[in-house]
Amino acid sequence: MKNLLGSSIKELENVALDYGQAAFRGRQIYKWIYNYKNKNKNIDQIEVLPLDFRKKLKDDGFKAGELRIKERNLSNDGTFKLLLSTEDNESIECVGIPTEKRLTACLSSQVGCPMDCKFCATGKEGLKRSLKASEILDQILFIENEMNRKVTNIVFMGMGEPLLNIDDLLLSIRSINEDFQISQRKITVSTVAVPKMISKLSAKSFQMLGNCQFTLAISLHASNQQTREKIIPSAKHYEIKNIIKDCKKFVSDTGRRVSFEYLMLNGVNDKLEHAYELSNLLKGFQCHVNLIQYNQIDEVEFKRTSSKNLQLFQSRLINNGIAVSLRKSRGLDKNAACGQLRQNAK
């Protein structure tokens, strides 16, 4: 099977030329693939192409997308969550998060996840496999098709650990930037942090993309190593002080500030001493903290912190000179937690 999704104009022009067609036929395929209003997925439905060309492409196994919708969930706040089925009958999730001026697509990079974060539903069944770039990009098209508007921002915060799928991650970012016309500065790559992979990400970005302009977000969720290991078992392989060291190098190499995601868990990491500790850990370099309200799931013991604790924590960070914002949870009434829709379907 040859998936055309993720192909550049030049690559599709070459496909057309290989079949004895004029180069402009490749440009017609390009416009058809990346048109968010086009809900057709079959090559033989590209009516602007000659019938015999369409038939040859289809007979030779060409496709434009291979995912299928398994389940749709629309929350009261407009958040739209999709459960998609892959060709090998696995399931992945993606989410469209709308506001008046933007539509953010939250994308998965793997089927399942090997990191086993204790607050997350995705890792309960482990990692099945990584997604191909075409499967990552298809999620954007499904969100655009279903919500009937263009995606403006991308966050790799869905299922999986993006840094364990770097090549396809960067191939998809190349296409998101050039084919979907979304600036790298509107793309966020979220990672639990894997040893040696932050430096590899920046190096490969320059190699494959020519630059590194997207935002790196570290799922830190703790102010010290002991607490982090309780929340994220894989953290025992990557000391928190070394994560910060590698993040400082990333800032130096790319000129882009790093974001730190901090999930507020009641009685675990939400005390004022944790805020003070986090301030000392992060002071002195270009970064930003996102405090996140926890989406509770039945399978784990963690509870969301109170609004009072959240505000006190935020104030302490601000008073200590740390740039911080509060990210409100969306889709709370419709299986909002990452991996929850997939797990419920199973």
Model confidence, pTM: 0.92
pLDDT in tens, 299-340: 667 889 999 999 999 999 999 999 999 987 666 554 555 555
Q: What is the pLDDT of residue 41?
A: 76
Whether residues 140 and 51 share a domain: the answer is: no
| Alpha-carbon gap, residue 176 to 183, rounded angstroms | 8
Out of 61-65, 254-258, 336-340, give the one with best mean pLDDT: 254-258
Domain count, the chain: 2
pLDDT in tens, 65-85: 889 999 999 999 999 999 999
Return the sign of the alpha-carbon dihedral for residues 339, 230, 218, 201.
Answer: negative
Whether residues 75 and 190 share a domain: the answer is: yes
The domain of 329 spans: 68-345
Residues 160 and 122 sit within 8 Å (Cβ to Cβ): yes
Whether residues 164 and 200 share a domain: the answer is: yes
Helix (H) or strand (E) segment spanning residue 310: helix 307-319
Whether residues 27 and 166 share a domain: the answer is: no
List the catalytic residues. 93, 338
Q: Residue 27 maps to which CATH number?
A: 1.10.150.530
The domain boundary residue, chosen from 63, 85, 106: 63
| Alpha-carbon gap, residue 209 to 161, rounded angstroms | 20
Whether residues 294 and 151 share a domain: the answer is: yes
Rg of the chain in Å (alpha carbons): 21
Residues 131 and 88 sit within 8 Å (Cβ to Cβ): no
pLDDT in tens, 163-220: 999 999 999 999 999 999 999 999 999 999 999 999 999 999 999 999 999 999 999 9
